Amino acid sequence: MKFAALIFANLFRKKVRLALTLGSFAVALFLFAFLAVVRKAFTGGADLANASRLVTINRVSIIQPIPLSYRDKIARIPGVQAVTHDNWFGGVYQDEKNFFPQFAIDPENQRKVYPEFVVPDDQWNNFLKDRQGAIVGARTAKRFGWKIGDRVPIKTTIWGGGAWEFVIDGIYHGKVAQDDETQFWFQWDYFQERVPDRLKGLIGWYTVMLNSPDQALRVAKAIDTEFANSPYETKTDTESAFAASWVKQFGNIEFLIITIGSVVFFTLLLVTGNTMAISVRERTGELAVLKAIGFKDRSVLFFVLAESLAIALFGGVLGLALAFLAIPVLGNALSGMLPNLILSKPMLATGIGFALLVGAASGLLPGIGAMRLRVVNALRRV
């Protein structure tokens, strides 16, 4: 602490340069936070996936349906605790920009398979009794200002056209902040009534809850074997693998984000490394005086590193604070398109770690140069 005055005095020596360097860190860390949040939004499904759940789709593609009659056969396979099914509705509420995912669900098994989505019992019971009933995620309800009892028309673009009317019977919440609260569920029976005859009795995919995650491989194989050589062959994966393959449809998001992040990292490293090198070079004489009066080499290295780390920390915190404020705004703007834009504590900690790593790396070479400075030579240059 007794060196704090010296370190801070040197930090504020060139205020414009300090502001620009802090700005570089702030912008880089803002971008880092944004990329981390987007990446998490894409890959979060896989991270949140329940290890005890399997997803069974048509072997050809997820857009090809499979028969409802498979449900009972799947339920009989040893190790299966519950089976539910979903159909993608793909409707539009008022405007195409108002995207949110809608599913025709199996009310009987939905809550057994997805215990992380919590609906109050009274609301759920009303939903079961209401053919046009719907349960909506808290974020989507908040987004459109929907309340229980509201009638909501949703126009379908897939299932024969026209607007379908629903009644909001309940609002679900996730158990953790990362849970997707944007979905809209309605009764499969209502869906069956209105789809063209050729599509009746067909579902989009099954979600299977297992007794134990250890049985995943065996049960997945048993399901696919059961329907092998049928007109509707299946492909069963863990929910995590299913979510990962879903993300891959958008391209290699992870690679893209890591590439952009790496470019930001190295650019920042070069900018701050150059700044620190100039800063140390300007102070060669002063550093020599410090060494002459008894400051050790490692003390001089410490001063240079402390400066670069302080810049990294302040700039990083500034950038992350801005991101913390901006990401919810962005999340609202993109609501439904990318669920769960959450700047989590681990992301913030990683961001600070990233900033400190760049700070240490950028201060290290100039610091070593200052450490190796020969006092006699440096004083001669003063």
Partner 1 sequence: MVSVNNNGNSSSLIQVRGLNKTYHRADEQIQVLQGLNLDVDKGDFVAFMGPSGSGKTTLLNLLGGLDVPTAGAISVASDEITHMSSGKLTEWRARHVGFVFQTYNLIPVLTAFQNVELPLLLTRLSKSERRQHVETALSIVGLGNRTRHFPRQLSGGQEQRVAIARAIVSDPTFLLCDEPTGDLDRKSADEIMALIEELVAKHGKTVLMVTHDPVVAARAHTVLHLEKGVLVEGSKSRQSVTAGGVV
Pick 28 or 371: Cβ nearer partner 1:
371
Helices (H), the chain: 4-11, 15-48, 70-76, 110-113, 121-129, 138-144, 188-194, 216-226, 239-248, 253-282, 284-292, 297-333, 345-371, 375-381
- For partner 1, give the closer residue by CB, 94 or 299: 299
Q: How far is the CB of 366 from partner 1 (least distance, A)?
A: 18
Q: What is the C-alpha end-to-end distance of the chain, expressed in Å? A: 29
Instruction: Using the minimum distance from each CB to partner 1, give the nearer residue, 233 or 286.
Output: 286
Residue 282's CB: how many other CB atoms inside 10 A?
11
The residue among 300, 250, 292, 359 whose CA lies nearest residue 22 is: 359
Q: Cα separation of 152 and 93, whole Å? A: 8
Question: Of 3 and 266, which has the nearer Cβ to partner 1?
Answer: 3
- Between 9 and 177, CB nearer to partner 1: 9
Binding residues for partner 1 (CB under 8 A): 2-3, 5-6, 9-10, 12-13, 285-286, 289-297, 375-376, 379, 382
> Closest separation between CB of residue 301 and partner 1, Å?
13
Other CB atoms within 10 A of residue 74 CB: 22
- Residue 220 and residue 238 in contact, taking contact as beta carbons nearer than 8 Å: yes
In angstroms, what is the minimal distance from the CB of 95 to partner 1? 59
142 φ, ψ (degrees, to nearest 5): -65, -40
Q: Residue 206 is encoded by which pair of tokens?
A: 């099954």
Residue 271 vs residues 10, 116, 283: alpha-carbon distances, Å = 18, 46, 19
Nearer to partner 1, 11 or 343 (CB): 11
Minimum CB separation of residue 293 from partner 1 in Å reads: 5
- Complex with partner 1: residue 134 or 288, whichever CB lies closer: 288
